[in-house]
Each structure stands twice: as C-alpha cells, then as structure tokens.
Amino acid sequence: MDVKSSKPPVATGLPMSRVKIIMKSSPDVDHISPDALFAMTKATELFVAHLSNETFKNNDKKGIEYCELANVVNNDDIFGFLQEVIPHKITVREYWKLIGKVDEDDDSEKSSSESE
Amino acid sequence: MAEDDDLNLPRAAINKLIKETLPQVRVSNEARELIVSCCNEFIHLVSSEANDICNKNTKKTIMPEHVLEALSGLGFESYVPECQEVLTECKHVALKKRRGSSRLENLGIPEEELLRQQQELFAQARQQQLEEEQQEWLQHQMELAKETSSQQEEPS
C-alpha cells in the first residue's frame, strides 16, 4: 500500500481514507499517490454537487426524490454509468408483463426496480 | 446493506455536501442513499480509467494527472480546473511547511544549544508557576486570617 495516511494540507469535505478504500476495491487498482487520492476526493465532492444540481434543475420541483434522480441518470449521457444503480422504478404489474407473467404466485408488493 | 457502510462514503458527509449545494431543498432519504451509491460508482469509474491511463504510461502509481485525464475522458472535464486549483494549493501549503522547518535549521544554532535554551525556558516557566502558586497560597492565608479575626469578634 503506497498511500500515506498523512493529513491533507487542504481540508476535504469527504474522508480521504474512505475514498482510498473504495478506489482499492476496484480491480487492478494498486498504488495511488497521495495527490491522486486528493484529486479523486475533490472530484467526488464536485460530482455530488453536480448530480444534485442537475437533478434539481431538470425537475423544477421543491425536492429531490428517487424518480428525479432516475430521470437525470437516464437522460444525461454523462451520468449514463449510473443507469444500473438508479434504474426507473416499475410496478409489479409492469414487471410481470415484461417477464411474460411467469410467476403469478409471486404476490410481493414491491415497487422496486426490475433489476432487484 | 449495513455491511456495505464501510465501503460507502459516510452519509453525514454526503448530506453536508448536498446541503451546501442546495441549502433550501428537501432531499428524500432514499435519494440521499442513492447519491451515496452513485459516488461509489463514480469513484470506481474514474479509478479504473485512471488506472488504465497509468498503465498506458507505464507507471506503477496512479498520479493526479492520471485522475485528471480520466475525468476529462469521461466527460467530467468541468471538474478539472477546480481539482487542479486545490492540487496547486496543496503544493503551496506543503512548500510553506518545508520552508518553515528549514528556517529553523538555517538559524545556525546547533541542536544542543537549542535543547539547552528549551530547558532554560522550561525552568523559567516552572519558576514562574511556583511563584504564582506561592502568591495564591499567601493570599488564601490572608483571607483565612481575615475570616478568623472577624469570627472572633462575633459572639459564638
């Protein structure tokens, strides 16, 4: 492990240690310089702001809900990589239609996404 | 999901960032959780890309420029200027620290002398504290004496 656990000279809004753990859980990612970790942390902070702003702008409502995030993710190319994380929700009925009504006995009241 | 918490960014930190971006906006808990997951994906995406760039450059360690190039390549070029700015700030702060420590080295005073001076300062501080304590004790004694004499005047 190459990353020193020294305090960053400039404060970050997210903990670098946690960002490091997530980075290293990516396949093949091995050695990360402290400055690279810092850049990654900062970029993630900007990402949060960007995603929140885009969602809020595009939906023109008072709050941010799941469906609004799903909208942004599915419409905006830049957030395309999140489509598996935030697919549009469908009702159970729609799901049954999609799978050809195979499991009619499955009477769960889930309104979660099809990938789950 | 609970076990994943260690692999996720802390909710409180994300909440704070959202609040700073959209202070008056209500954000559902579900949306917040999702944003946390999105951050994970984002980090994975950029890390993988940066790793590829790093390998292409036949380097073993991912450097900040690899991360910045990855961001640009993935469509997040708008993040690059601000990231670069804070990286530069980092370097300046680090440089100042180094200059600060070398100032001490450049005083030309040998370490033994510095140690001696430090011991002297400690001794002075101890002496000062002792004197202050003595003063306090004397004052306390005087107050006690006053109380005793005033009590003696009153009928018991």
| Position A61 in a domain | yes
Assess whether pLDDT exceeds 80 at residue A105. Answer: no
Assess whether pLDDT exceeds 70 at residue B121. Answer: yes
Greater pLDDT, B36 or A107: B36
- Total structural domains within chain A: 1
pLDDT at B104: 64
State whether ipTM is beyond 0.85.
Answer: no
The pTM score is 0.68
Nearest CA in chain B to A19: B9
| Selected residues 47-106 of chain B with any CB under 8 Å from a CB in chain A | 47-48, 50-51, 60-64, 66-68, 71, 74-76, 78-79, 82-83, 86-87, 89-90, 93-94, 97
Q: Do the chains contact at B17 and A13, CB–CB below 8 Å?
A: yes
pLDDT at A39: 95
Output the average pLDDT for chain A.
79
Least confident of A42-56, B1-15, B31-45: B1-15
Distance CA A63, CA A70 (A): 14
Distance CA A43, CA A80 (A): 17
Q: Do the chains contact at B30 and A82, CB–CB below 8 Å?
A: no
| Position A49 in a domain | yes
Residue-wise pLDDT for B64-90, tens only, equals 999 999 999 999 999 999 999 999 988
| Position A60 in a domain | yes
Distance CA B137, CA B143 (A): 10
Q: CB count, 10 Å around CB of A64?
A: 25
Q: CB count, 10 Å around CB of B148?
A: 9
| Position A114 in a domain | no
Q: Do the chains contact at B93 and A10, CB–CB below 8 Å?
A: yes
Residue-wise pLDDT for A20-77, tens only, equals 999 999 888 989 999 999 999 999 999 999 999 988 887 766 677 888 888 888 888 8
| Position A7 in a domain | no
pLDDT band at A1 (very low <50, low <70, confident <90, very high): very low
CB burial of residue B55 (10 Å; 0-12, 13-18, 19+): middle
Closest approach of A28 to chain B, Cα-based (Å): 8
Greater pLDDT, A109 or B47: B47
Assess whether pLDDT exceeds 90 at residue B13. Answer: yes
Distance CA B105, CA B108 (A): 7
Assess whether pLDDT exceeds 80 at residue A95. Answer: yes
Contacts of B30 in chain A (CB under 8 A): 65-66
pLDDT band at B3 (very low <50, low <70, confident <90, very high): very low
Mutation target to probe the A interface, by most A beta carbons within 10 A, among B39, B40, B48, B88 is B39
Count CA atoms closer than 13 A to B87's CA, side-chain side.
22
Q: pLDDT above 70 covers what percent of chain B?
A: 89
Greater pLDDT, B69 or B5: B69
Question: Range of A17's domain?
Answer: 12-65
CB A51 within 8 A of CB A33: no
| Position A47 in a domain | yes
| Position A58 in a domain | yes
pLDDT at B80: 96
